[in-house]
Chains A and B, each alone.
Chain A
Amino acid sequence: AQRVTQPEKLLSVFKGAPVELKCNYSYSGSPELFWYVQYSRQRLQLLLRHISRESIKGFTADLNKGETSFHLKKPFAQEEDSAMYYCALQPNAGKSTFGDGTTLTVKP
């Protein structure tokens, strides 16, 4: 069975500090992993996906198959990064699994 675990429900950092949102997954095949973000009063939207290996809004995420992790990182957090973040495993057409989400608060 596929499973996504985000161990931190809440994460609070100060502006300018590094931030890491953890995501671990369980899946027997080759995973397709995504991070989605939901800002206040906005719809859920894609932040980044592992296959593109790009940096979006200063965030990066590296897939570590050995540790089955896909942690989201940003070296210097900004107040506008405050949002709910979801890690998602989308291994094949249709059956996507989301983690429970992490609420990030960046304090001034």
Chain B
Amino acid sequence: DGGITQSPKYLFRKEGQNVTLSCEQNLNHDAMYWYRQDPGQGLRLIYYSQIVNDFQKGDIAEGYSVSREKKESFPLTVTSAQKNPTAFYLCASSITSGGLTGELFFGEGSRLTVL
């Protein structure tokens, strides 16, 4: 069953703690992305990676970190420096060809709540 798997679906964290969200894909896509979805604000890009061992900051990278050690995995760490971490996080992947991004395939999301 091909697709993108995010875990956990729900996560609670105390203030001051780091937390890592998992994202795995078996679509053999080169590019992977992390978005944050807040009510009324659409999707905002946190980080993206076009190839293994390389990633770039998106529009709201502060307080987040990522790694891309394997093609199929792109974990996101929400650090204690993120001032407003309670949100819904979406991971996506896509084929890239000729410099163009194809269709984005999304995971089901992870909802993080900071207590």
B-side interface size class: 20 to 34
Asked whether, in the complex, the Cβ of A93 is within 8 Å of the Cβ of B104, the reply is no
Interface 9-mer from B12-20, B40-48, B60-68, B78-86: B40-48
B2 at the interface (CB under 8 A from A): no
The answer for the CA separation of A23 and B104 in the assembled complex, in Å, is 18
B103 at the interface (CB under 8 A from A): yes
**Which of A6, A45, A97, A99 is close to B106, meaning CB atoms less than 8 Å apart?**
A45
A43 at the interface (CB under 8 A from B): yes
B115 at the interface (CB under 8 A from A): no
Asked whether, in the complex, the Cβ of B40 is within 8 Å of the Cβ of A93, the reply is no
A46 to chain B minimum Cβ distance, whole angstroms, is: 5
The answer for the CA separation of A100 and B42 in the assembled complex, in Å, is 4
A73 to chain B minimum Cβ distance, whole angstroms, is: 21
Asked whether, in the complex, the Cβ of A93 is within 8 Å of the Cβ of B45, the reply is no
What is the interface of chain A mostly: helix, strand, loop, or mixed?
Answer: loop
A36 at the interface (CB under 8 A from B): yes
Asked whether, in the complex, the Cβ of B40 is within 8 Å of the Cβ of A97, the reply is no
A108 at the interface (CB under 8 A from B): no
A91 to chain B minimum Cβ distance, whole angstroms, is: 8
Asked whether, in the complex, the Cβ of B103 is within 8 Å of the Cβ of A93, the reply is no
B8 to chain A minimum Cβ distance, whole angstroms, is: 16
Q: Find residues 62-115 in chain B having any chain A CB closer than 8 Å to their own CB.
A: 90, 92, 96, 99-101, 103-104, 106-109
Residues of A with Cβ closer than 8 Å to B? 6, 9, 32, 34, 36, 43-46, 49, 86, 88, 90, 92-101
Instruction: Show 20 A/B contacts (Cβ-Cβ < 8 Å), sorted by A.
Output: A34-B104, A36-B104, A43-B108, A44-B90, A44-B92, A44-B104, A90-B100, A92-B99, A92-B100, A93-B31, A93-B50, A93-B100, A93-B101, A94-B96, A96-B45, A96-B101, A96-B104, A97-B45, A98-B35, A101-B43
